[in-house]
Amino acid sequence: MNWAKGHEKCKSCGTTEHKHKARGLCASCYDAATEKRQKSHVTRRMGSHLPIHITKEDLEQKYNSGLSLNDIARQYNCTRQYIYKLMAQYKIARRTMSEARSLALQQGKISYSSNVLSPGKTITHEKRHVNESFFKSWTPAMAWVLGAIYTDGCLTASLRPRGQSKSAKLGKLRLREQVVLANHGDVTAQFYLAAMYKHGVQALKWYILAAEGGDELAVVARDELSRKMTPDQIADARQRAREWAPQEKQADTVFRRFKIDQKEPELLEKVRAQIGSNALIRFRGKRGVAGALHTLSIDNATVCADLRQLGVTPRKSLTITFPPMPPHLVRHFIRGCWDGDGSVYWEGNDIYIVHASYVSGSKDFIEQLMRHLVDLGLPDRTIYKSTRSKNPSYYFRYSGLPCIKLYHVLYDGVDESMYLARKHDRFKAFVGYYERQGSQAQHRPRPVSYRPRPVSSVRSVKGRLQEIRASKAALINELKSYAHSKSPQSGMSEEED
């Protein structure tokens, strides 16, 4: 088994004692290479004084202009560590790690090349962006994108509560996170928060609260700490504990992602352009029974919160309902849904019978969809239930001339950036044929094809033919007998003859 993907050992030290960190280097060698790279620009002798004094105003101005510590160090021919010490000495507020990474992405500083993953290429990461106000107001484009997300989209959420760091999921809580949980009434967090304070009124307050919550260790710690404190301090701590009230927990999550899966990238590219994003469209090859897919993922809490307000929820296939919207935008929403779960086709080799069908896992959604189509002028259709899969699905179908009406409802006056070209072109080809044929399209002779009739049907036809033959024979015999009874001597009239 390789030490790391594409590497059997560390490229620098040649050992496998330490874990791989990045670029084929172990953690120790990677840190050493990083430090050497950060000092490679220094040309003066280490330890000598700088020729120019760095003032607080100059340092603050350069830092606020968007330069990193390493950028400033290169300008002054010094190390990054020295600039860091000056920042602390002048008490200049520094960026958070998130802000620093966002700035580096905007400036195109994060790039790498790998002979394993991308031989001969340099990959530069970009800051991913999206129009956060796109789903806040109804427009034709917004309604179409929402329809595509309703059918082929998926909303996922992390289990991390608001304000909690990633390290908290591993059981490593920061002081701020301990305070939040303790204020929510978490007994364990109250005990650990008191242990962080060690002594004093605050420590005793949290020990008292944890003990009242049933923590046995907190009872012991409370008693031991009380023996070391004065009566006034104990009374103050008890008073604070009585005045304390638990805060309401926030159930919202801080990280959400929505993604859309399609067999072809066209729809994803048009959705991405409409929402003003530069997110990547990733391709996943065929895996077992699952076919190849293209996936567009958008990571933005604001956008996902808006989607939740519009009715998009995790695992929505069987529970979605038709969202309320302005009536003039319903057709755009339905077009987005049809681009996802709708179809248009002809039956077998019969090019004269066109069908347009729609399928959904939610009975309530497809019933509301049918009512809106009726309001738009299309005929009502029966909704059928299919039980071929584990979960039932529901579908309806239009055939023949109603497909022309559906085409005009969905596509009239719509720009090509707001529909799936493949389904639009097929609709248009069928509608063009019907419109050229006019009202006679339904009466055009259909191709003759032999279909064996059921035995019961053949027998009924034979019986009918026998009845016809018998009636004809009876009529002929009657005519003969009538002719013989009327001899020439009796004198037949011209009418009888």
Domain ranges of the chain: 39-122, 166-243, 327-443
* Pairing mode of beta strands 350-360, 393-399: antiparallel
Closest CA to 434 of 405, 397, 469, 471: 405
Q: Tell me the CATH number for domain 327-443.
A: 3.10.28.10
Please state, as a whole number, how many other Cβ atoms lie within 10 Å of the Cβ of residue 46.
8
CB atoms near residue 163 (< 10 Å): 12
* Amino acid identity, position 299: D
C-beta of residue 190 within 8 angstroms of C-beta of residue 218: yes
Q: What stretches in the chain show pLDDT beneath 50?
A: 159-171, 251-255, 441-445, 447-453, 455-458, 475-476, 479-480, 482-497
The number of angstroms, rounded, from the C-alpha of 272 to the middle of its chain's C-alpha atoms is 12
298 within 8 A of 259, measured Cβ to Cβ: yes
What pLDDT score was predicted for residue 398? 93
CA distance 266 to 262: 9
Round to whole Å and give the CA distance between 92 and 369.
Answer: 59
Measured distance CA(355)–CA(397) in Å, rounded: 7
Distance CA 174, CA 193 (A): 10
Can you tell me the distance from the alpha carbon of 473 to that of 476, in angstroms, rounded to the nearest whole number?
5
Hunting for tokens 């072109």 — which residue is that?
A: 425
261 bridge partner residues: 295
Supply the pLDDT for residue 327.
94
The full length of the chain comes to 497
Q: What is the pLDDT of residue 490?
A: 40
- Token pair, residue 244, equals 């304390």
For residue 304, the one-letter residue type is C
Q: Give the Cα separation of 417 and 273 in Å (integer).
A: 9
Kindly report the backbone phi and psi dihedral angles of residue 477, in degrees, each rounded to the nearest multiple of 5, phi listed first. -65, -40
What does the alpha-carbon distance between residue 28 and residue 44 come to, in Å, rounded to a whole number?
Answer: 27
Q: Is the pTM of this model over 0.85?
A: no
CA distance linking residue 441 with residue 270, whole number of Å? 35
Cβ contact 174:167 at 8 Å:
yes
User: Residue 360 corresponds to which amino acid?
Assistant: S
- At residue 176, the pLDDT reads 67
